[in-house]
């Protein structure tokens, strides 16, 4: 992306690389060799691909970019949530989070290490509670930049990641083409080999793209950030709800569930906004309609924003109302509150510190 004229080699699919090499008169096994250097041996330059002819290495370097992410900060320690702030080749800041084993995460078993990755620099959707949206949208990440977050974190932490959630900065479905390309690379046996069922896409509710996802054959999971069970409450905190109000959104979800089996709801609990028994009752109706499980997430405070999390007693009451109405809801005792765990926050703090953004909220 930094090098606008060249595509990052890590944005390519196997067959695309093979075709490209074939046109250059290379034997058909070259693509496999190169993918092996990229995703098994994980070298960081064409030069290091030592079993390729010199001439080919030079040609590859001329044709393709080989971008890396520069690690700017790592917060947290081995047993806690670790947060990585990266600088992209064009200078933009990006963040990803490594979450240690947790029993209540998306479809994973308790021994799974989860990475939360970003799909855009900033976000255009401007949810009122979210640090990523505060400063607007800058650009989409390309597939290579999405995949690279995983590679860098595995390298830096020395740990193998087995669960991927697209819950970092940005709205994944607003960058659908690159998202699906990145998922293919993450999922492929020649790529990172992570099972589709261990890949979860989170969306704020882009109804047309949810329908598109329903027609995708890959068995990834989908999480819908609901955060409000009526249009009134949802529109107050999520401007996207004015574009795709609940009726439109839930019809798209019906379609998705009919095609793909199921989805999960994310529901942040924000004190005095969406945490009433009434909202819990409305939420249970929606969840029953879609046979969806609900992840309740106590809100993480964001510097400069007025919202706060409800008391533990209120959180538990909300959960118990859902359960009374026959809905499965987990209440996350989320890790890493103290290191600004919700994505977008570390980047925001860094930009504030560097004087690159002013907060007018
Ligand atoms: N744009 C997508 C994915 C990125 S946000 C989406 O909105 O789903 C990932 C999740 O983090 C969303 O459920 C979002 O609502 C939630 N989130 C954002 N800010 C948060 C905060 N301060 N505390 C807790 N969760 C937050
Ligand atoms: Fe964007 Fe998701 Fe944050 Fe909303 S919650 S501003 S859609 S990143």
As annotated, the active-site residues are 95, 343
Exposure b/e, 47-66, CB count within 10 A at least 16 = b? eebeebeeebbebbeeebbb
Q: Which ligand is nearest to the CA of 297?
A: 1
Rounded distance from Cα 53 to ligand 2 centre (Å): 46
Answer whether 302 contacts ligand 1 (Cβ < 6 A): yes
What would the two tokens of residue 20 be? 């490209």
- Ligand 2 closest atom vs CA 204: 7
Question: What sign does the CA torsion over 247, 252, 270, 140 have?
Answer: negative
How large is the average pLDDT for residues 194-198?
Answer: 96
Looking at residue 344, its pLDDT comes to 54
Rounded distance from Cα 296 to ligand 2 centre (Å): 17
- Who lines ligand 2 at CB under 6 A? 123, 125-127, 130, 132-133, 170-171, 204, 225
Rounded distance from Cα 125 to ligand 2 centre (Å): 6
Rounded distance from Cα 40 to ligand 2 centre (Å): 33
CA–CA distance, 137 with 156 (Å, rounded to integer): 28
- Ligand 2 closest atom vs CA 238: 4
pLDDT tens string 178-191: 999 999 999 999 99
Q: What pTM was estimated for this model as a whole?
A: 0.92
Instruction: Say how many CA atoms lie within 13 Å of 32 toward its Cβ.
Output: 4
Q: Which of 124, 204, 224 to mutate to test the pocket of ligand 2 (most atoms within 8 A of CB)?
A: 204
12-26, 252-266, 325-339, 342-356: range with lowest mean pLDDT: 342-356
What would the two tokens of residue 31 be? 């693509």
Alpha helices (H) along the chain: 14-23, 30-35, 54-63, 143-157, 176-187, 207-214, 231-237, 240-243, 246-260, 277-290, 312-324, 345-353
Looking at residue 111, its pLDDT comes to 54
CA–CA distance, 148 with 359 (Å, rounded to integer): 30
pLDDT tens string 64-117: 999 999 999 898 866 678 889 999 999 999 999 998 765 545 544 445 788 999
């Amino acid at each position: 992306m930094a090098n606008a004229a060249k595509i990052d080699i890590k944005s390519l699919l196997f067959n695309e690389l093979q075709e490209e090499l074939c046109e250059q008169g290379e034997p058909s096994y070259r693509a496999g060799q190169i993918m092996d250097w990229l995703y098994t041996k994980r070298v960081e330059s064409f030069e290091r691909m030592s079993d390729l002819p010199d001439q080919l290495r030079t040609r590859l370097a001329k044709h393709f970019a080989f971008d890396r992410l520069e690690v700017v900060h790592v917060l947290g320690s081995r047993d806690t949530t670790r947060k990585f702030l990266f600088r992209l080749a064009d200078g933009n800041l990006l963040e990803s989070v490594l979450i240690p084993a947790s029993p209540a995460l998306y479809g994973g078993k308790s021994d799974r290490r989860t990475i939360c990755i970003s799909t855009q620099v900033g976000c255009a959707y401007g949810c009122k509670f979210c640090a990523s949206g505060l400063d607007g949208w800058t650009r989409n990440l390309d597939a290579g930049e999405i995949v690279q977050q995983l590679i860098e974190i595995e390298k830096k932490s020395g740990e193998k990641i087995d669960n991927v959630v697209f819950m970092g900065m940005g709205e994944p479905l607003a960058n659908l083409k690159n998202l699906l390309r990145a998922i293919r690379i993450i999922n492929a046996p020649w790529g990172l080999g992570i099972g589709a069922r261990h890949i979860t896409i989170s969306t704020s509710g882009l109804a047309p793209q949810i329908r598109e996802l329903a027609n995708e054959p890959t068995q990834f999971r989908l999480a819908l950030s609901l955060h409000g069970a009526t249009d009134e409450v949802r529109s107050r905190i999520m401007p996207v709800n004015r574009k795709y109000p609940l009726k439109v959104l839930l019809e798209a979800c019906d379609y998705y569930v009919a095609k793909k089996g199921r989805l999960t709801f994310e529901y942040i609990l924000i004190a005095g906004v969406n945490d009433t028994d009434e909202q819990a009752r409305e939420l249970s109706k929606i969840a029953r309609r879609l046979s969806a499980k609900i992840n309740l997430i106590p809100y993480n405070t964001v510097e400069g924003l007025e919202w706060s999390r409800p008391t533990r007693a209120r959180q538990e009451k909300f959960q118990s109302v859902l359960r009374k109405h026959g809905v499965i809801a987990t209440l996350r005792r989320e890790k890493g509150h103290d290191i600004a765990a919700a994505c977008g926050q570390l980047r925001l703090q860094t930009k504030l510190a560097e004087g690159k953004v002013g907060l007018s909220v």
